[in-house]
Structure 1
Amino acid sequence: MTQDTTRSPDLSATASGPDRAGSGPAGRPPVSRRRKKNRAWDEVPRWHIYLPLGIYLVFTLVPFYWILLFALRPTGSTSLVPWPLTFDHFEKVWTERSFATYFENSLLTGVATLIMTTLVALAGGYALARFDFKVKRWFMLALLCSQFVPGALLLVPLFQIFADLSLINSLMSVIIAETVFQLPLSIILISGFIRNVPYSLEEAAWVDGCSRFTAFRVVVLPMLRPGLVAVGSFAFVHSWNHFLFALMFLNSQDKQTIPVGLNTLMGADSVDLGALAAGGVIAAVPVVIVFAFIQKWLVTGFSAGAVKG
């Protein structure tokens, strides 16, 4: 009998080769390099980090504190501390200056713009992400170029269109104008997010007997939650803060929104700083609350929708 003298390769040496060479798993830097980087980061003095952040925080929070100071301290007071606290300015703007009506109109306009923008952007974004047509590139270019057109440039034709439709002094005119101006960016974001959803998931749903709409509703739509939050919040905040459309298309006081209401607090000869500051706080609080709850979804949605999958 002959003995097989063929030697098998040294698997242990091969497996340990990358470790000896100092390379880590695919796509990751070597362990030694990561450790050196972490040690270098730990050696950075803490004040190099906290000092710039502290300066930035001061520049960010001082204007907010100044607004709260004027809103909460009594009229005529020059103290840098809002004491004794008074809510007279809030009561004045909410009741005497009709801010309750302005708040309701702004909320209605913002929510309606959010819903209309999200629905139309879903349809347009899905078409751009899943279908190929001849003018697709030109359509995308037109969407991008429309972002360079200021809203003030289109006020006259928009006013004429809404006048012909008998929509002047109606909140619907502001809702339509806000939706139209929000759609290009919203469609681009939604289409980028849909591209990151594997097309094979929809095909598998079709094989199981789902229609295209059912597959979109069951498979794709749940995965678009961060993108929908990003688009909806952006549309709501822009509509809530926009001043020009409400000023031009709404005439009566009971139809005005909060930005126009804040403008009415500034007279030709004098400005009620306490009332103006209280109105600014009322205008800012809803937006701050919304962003506090959706910030995680907002960052995820913008980052995912901005990258082509």
Structure 2
Amino acid sequence: MTTVSVGRDTPPATEGPPPGPPADRPRPRRRRPHDQPPRWQVLLPLGLYLLFTLIPFYWMLLFALREPGSDSLVPWPVTTEHFEKVWTERSFDTYFVNSVRVGVATMLMTMLVALSGGYALARFRFRLRMPFMLALLCSQFIPGALMLVPLFEVFRELSLLNSLWSVILAETVFQLPLSMILISGFIRNVPPSLEEAAWVDGCSRLRGFRAIVLPLLRPGLVAVGSFAFVHSWNHFLFALMFLNSQDRQTIPVGLNTLIGSDSVDLGALAAGGVVAAVPVVIVFAFIQRWLITGFSAGAVKG
């Protein structure tokens, strides 16, 4: 007896390339992420802003480096006559040293006082804490010119007129409110558990602060210190009111002496502006990384 197996018929195998999309179908284009704009939309505004920022600096360098009486738009041949004039004849060497003393002293005093006050605001809970912080914020709306007469009387009673300490103290007082608020925001970003672990190991509060919190506050301290230094370096009003003799003046007041009642020596004024701007530019070129990190960290909480 023969048996016949009944099953499904399998189609014969065909040779050829595997099936795929039709040759005339275009490939899908890779889409740009929605959060990434085209490159020209980023480079064009940045280029315009850079051009708008650099033109005044170039104009200042042009007047400072080209020869007197020249109207060329390129400083060639280069001359240092204006720098020699302001540095020797106009006593800018003395102004520069005085500005460095005021800026460094203001920076150190602001950092020290703001560090202690900011730690108290961040770690301790006491009555009138929020009204005190509100008063610190409101003090930023008080113009410095409004406090000139009271400060003048205070410094006269303390025999601090015509002394660099009068400018240093005034600058420190006006820098402290914002600096304390920023430092308190930096300290809040440091977990209190780190300090508590140091206390358990036998550290005092001061030693725990120095060993745990202070190293983590480096970006914040750089931000606060640089802000205080630049403000005191560029401030004109306090130095003009509290300092009388020429050997006590700072660079902003020295620049004002270059402007006469009938004429202005543009070359000397531009050279003095370069002398005033270059140190600040150099400092910011070295600390920009810590400065940006510090301001961004202090803006998270507070």
> Taking structure 1 as the reference length, what is the TM-score of the superposition?
0.86
- Matched residues in 2 for 1:123 and 1:52: separation? 42
Q: Which amino acid aligns with 1:182?
A: Q
Higher helix share: 1
Q: Give 1:207's aligned residue.
A: 200
Task: Report deviation, 1:57.
Answer: 1.5
Q: Does 1:122 align with 2:115?
A: yes
Q: Give 2:184's aligned residue.
A: 191
- Matched residues in 2 for 1:200 and 1:254: separation? 52
SS at match of 1:213: helix
Q: Give 1:148's aligned residue.
A: 141
Structure 2: runs of 5 or more not aligned: 1-29
- Matched residues in 1 for 2:44 and 2:175: separation? 38
Q: Which amino acid aligns with 2:282?
A: I
Q: Give 2:82's aligned residue.
A: 89
- Matched residues in 2 for 1:124 and 1:158: separation? 23
Q: 1:75 aligns with which of 57, 68, 77?
A: 68
- Matched residues in 2 for 1:38 and 1:139: separation? 47
SS at match of 1:204: helix
Q: Which amino acid aligns with 1:98?
A: S
Change (3 A) 1:220 1:40: closer
Q: Does 1:38 align with 2:38?
A: no
- Matched residues in 2 for 1:237 and 1:39: separation? 39
Q: Which amino acid aligns with 2:69?
A: G
SS at match of 1:286: helix
Q: How does 1:48-63 map to 2 (within 5 A)?
A: 48-63=41-56
Q: Give 1:16's aligned residue.
A: none
Q: Does 1:251 align with 2:248?
A: no
RMSD: 1.3
Q: Which amino acid aligns with 1:38?
A: P
Q: Give 2:229's aligned residue.
A: 236
SS at match of 2:67: coil
Structure 1: runs of 5 or more not aligned: 1-34
SS at match of 1:38: coil
Q: Give 2:21's aligned residue.
A: none
Aligned length: 273
Q: Give 1:29's aligned residue.
A: none
Seq. identity, %: 78
Q: 1:305 aligns with which of 287, 298, 302?
A: 298
Q: Which has the larger radius of gyration?
A: 2
